[in-house]
Amino acid sequence: MEMDKSGKKRILLKVGSNVLTKETHQISRGKIEDIARQVAGLKDKYEFVIVSSGAIAVAKQFVDLETNGKEIKVKQALASIGQPHLMRIYQEIFREHGLFTAQCLLSYSDFEKEQSKINIVNTINVLVDNNYIPIINENDTVATDEIKFGDNDKLAALTASLLKADLFIIATNTNGIYTKESIKNKNGKTILKTADISSLKNEIEISVSTHGTGGMVSKIDAAEIAQKAGIETWILNGLKDNFIIESFSNKIDFTKIIIV
């Protein structure tokens, strides 16, 4: 990992709904507290940009909307209800650790326009230079790609590439990617390190996570986007306390998708 001009390494951390809810039906303030504590502890060496799912999960705590067969539209409405609540939780908890946060809502179409890409980079760099942690989510009220594609994994990878992150961390609800054999035997053996994306695709079982629309397929696709941009991806278990710090000291098993 190269140092940026501030001497800090840039980490793009993607946190999925399953991690934020700790696999329940409610956002876990304790999990956001865990993330804030780690970011505060690492801020002298690393700068963080966070891509966070969870807006729909938050909204479901407050409202029960009629679907009438319009599921995507209802999810967009839930996202617009939940997003301000999600940001408020981040803001309150991060502030307790002396950290400032800023909301950035992005759409996939933003990555297709040169001027939009320049604007994203400039805005996020200004925020980070002024010690604000950007909390990014997809602008679900105008786009349906996150709901269709997979729990912000692709959005996070595109953002990591655009911002020239030094490391892309995907926090999920497993200890990285397991071998197919170990999944069959129900004893989850983690693939610790590889540069071979196609071999990973071979190993994974098609599964979709409970709250998110992800699963491992979208995580490996995201890692492939990052790898093409020369960024290493770590897929690790965000349900564990201290998961970022423990991954740095190799105290937990997780998957590293390296650059060759």
Looking at residue 71, its pLDDT comes to 77
Q: Establish if 38 belongs to a structural domain.
A: yes
Q: Establish if 1 belongs to a structural domain.
A: no
| Local confidence band at 12 (pLDDT 50, 70, 90 cut-offs) | very high
Looking at residue 209, its pLDDT comes to 46
CATH code of the domain covering residue 244? 3.40.1160.10
Looking at residue 188, its pLDDT comes to 85
Average pLDDT over residues 64-84: 81
Q: Establish if 199 belongs to a structural domain.
A: yes
Looking at residue 205, its pLDDT comes to 57
Q: Establish if 145 belongs to a structural domain.
A: yes
Q: Establish if 31 belongs to a structural domain.
A: yes
Residue 6 DSSP class: T
Please report how the helices 55-62 and 71-96 are oriented relative to each other, as an axis angle in degrees rounded to 10: 100
How many separate domains does the chain show? 1
pLDDT digits (tens, 9 = 90+) for 173-183: 999 999 888 88
Q: Are 188 and 175 in contact (CB under 8 A)?
A: yes
Q: Establish if 4 belongs to a structural domain.
A: no
Q: Establish if 2 belongs to a structural domain.
A: no
Angle at 230 between CA 207 and CA 4, to 5 degrees: 120
Looking at residue 116, its pLDDT comes to 95
pLDDT digits (tens, 9 = 90+) for 90-144: 999 999 999 999 999 998 888 989 999 999 999 999 999 999 999 999 886 666 5
List the domain range (segments joined by +) for residue 104: 9-257
* Nearest partner of 236 among 226, 247, 251, judged by Cα: 247
pTM above 0.75, yes or no: yes
Query: Is 60 exceeded by the pLDDT of residue 243?
Result: yes
Q: Establish if 227 belongs to a structural domain.
A: yes
